[in-house]
Structure 1
Amino acid sequence: MDRKTQYILETSVYPREHEAMKELREITAKHPWNVMTTPADEGQFLIMLLKLINAKNTMEIGVYTGYSLLATALALPEDGKILAMDVNRENYELGLPVIQKAGVAHKIDFREGPALPVLDEIVKDSKKHGTFDFIFVDADKDNYLNYHKRLIELVKVGGVIGYDNTLWHGSVVAPPDAPLKKYIRYYRDFVLELNKALAADQRIEICQLPVGDGVTLCRRIS
């Protein structure tokens, strides 16, 4: 972690972090796949964003232990809803007691399994088109463009889709022959393809931010 990020965490993030989020962050840090978690500064950013756009009906693809899910649930109003999808219920249940203790579990509709079949079912219902205020995607990078094709129908005009890991451990600017971990090398081309496609998509306004591992916000304009 660079010194600027450490400064932001110690000065602005950790002192204001919700107790439940701190507890879940510490639980997740002990998990062997903890690299998959949403960083604390990104969690703080999501909370601010959700409140600024007055989000109420949301979706999250890729949950892991639920740090970003908890951030969303805390930010939403009491009657807010999150459709949350992940292929691994066990990881979600690791964080679920913390989410329940925070009193926000009732906002979450968790579905175990691949997201694409669920999205295809939702897209079939024209009444669901344009009904989501915010959608956050932090899942299988090789399906991001497949998700985008469906999510652009489901997010409302003026609503936001957030794609996580769009800098992909900095590999997007690494030389072709750079020594990269196998999984980073495998997904890098998918992330590069996504970034080009989002930049060319005239249905959205975009903003790519160097928060965490890179977050690209897409505001639907048509």
Structure 2
Amino acid sequence: MDFDFTKCLLSSDALHKYILETSVYPREHEELKSLRDVSTQHQFGFMTTPPEEGQLLSLLLKLMNAKKAIEIGVFMGYSLLTTALALPEDGKIIAIDPDKEAFEKGLPFIKKANVESKIDFIHSTALPILDKLLEKENTEEGTFDFAFVDADKTSYGEYHERLIRLIRVGGLIAYDNTLFFGTVANPDDTGVSKGISEIRDYLIQFNASLASDRRIEISQVSIGDGLTLCRRIY
């Protein structure tokens, strides 16, 4: 054979474009597309969940028959709308973010998709809300099917210890950005800013902790900026 498989780059831009144009964009909900178009024009548009990642999460939610979810970090709501569309009519999502202004920019698309009734948006940082959900007098422990985390990276460990209690056995936690622009593979790179290196170093430790956490099964997927899926097993 005259084809050199060692030069077949599965992470190439051309192949990514092929996946988007063949399998993702044709299946993307109309309001998700509209929201993505608006989000990418925002100065922090890079924070938007990639559509191929949203497609994967949507499929997983449906396979799980998920009905109750929690989202930490909403931005303009692409992942939130993805989840809301995947849940059944009686599904519910608690969405937490201290940036209400960004959420309100995406809210019209959520309304047009007729899924606003599924969403309980809480304008707050996440840890106080998670702690409140775990209080004995109104505990939600073990009642959630799914959690998606795309927030301040250096709090992922604290979120994990709370979410592992809130998610039911068999439920799924998804952590976004766990490859952090690929920097986790270059821990000795001194050519990055202090802020980037601090987050990179934290995520390297966090990824290692998930890999050794016997309460979960994991799969780290090279999609978007890295997605780690954690299934609670006890």
| TMscore range, shorter length | over 0.9
Quote the offset at 1:186 in angstroms: 2.7
- Who is 1:87 aligned against? 98
Q: How many residues were matched structurally?
A: 222
Within the alignment, does 1:71 sit opposite 2:46 as a pair?
A: no
Question: Aligned partners of 1:19 and 1:183: how far apart in 2?
Answer: 37
Contact 1:79 1:107 in 2 (8 A): yes
Identify the match of residue 72 of structure 2 among 61, 67, 72: 61
Contact 1:155/1:220 (<8 A) preserved: yes
Runs of 5+ in structure 2 lacking a partner?
1-11
* 1:45 and 2:52 correspond: no
Give the AA of the match of 1:214: G
Instruction: Say which of 134, 142, 150 aligns to 1:138.
Output: 150
How many Å separate the matches in 2 of 1:9 and 1:198? 29
**Which position in structure 1 is the counterpart of 2:16?**
5
Give identity over the alignment, percent. Answer: 57
Aligned to 2:117: 106
Gaps of 5+ in 1: none
Q: CA deviation at 1:15?
A: 0.9
The structure with more radius of gyration: 2
Where does residue 14 of structure 1 map in the other structure? Answer: 25
What amino acid sits opposite 1:38 in the alignment?
T
The DSSP-based 3-state class of the residue aligned with 2:178 is: coil
How far has the Cα of 1:56 moved from its partner? 0.3
Question: How far off is 1:184 after superposition?
Answer: 2.6
Whether contact under 8 Å (1:169, 1:184) holds in the other structure is: no
Could you list the structure 1 runs, at least 4 aligned residues long, displaced by more than 3 angstroms after superposition. Answer: none
Indicate the SS of the match to 1:83: strand
Q: Match for residue 177 of structure 1?
A: 189
- Aligned equivalents of 2:189, 2:26: Cα separation in 1: 41
Deviations 1:41-77 (Å, cap 9, x if unpaired)?
A: 0011111010010100000000000000000000000
Normalised TM-score (structure 1): 0.97
RMSD of aligned Cα (Å): 1.2
- Measure, in 1, the Cα distance between the counterparts of 2:191 and 2:52: 28
Is the counterpart of residue 208 in structure 1 residue 220 in structure 2? yes
Cα deviations by residue, 1:115-168 (Å, 9 ceiling, x for unpaired)? 000111111137411000000000000100000011111000000000011111
Q: Give the partner amino acid of 1:56.
A: K
The one-letter code sitting in structure 2 at the alignment partner of 1:153 is R
The two structures have a TM-score, normalised by structure 2, of: 0.92
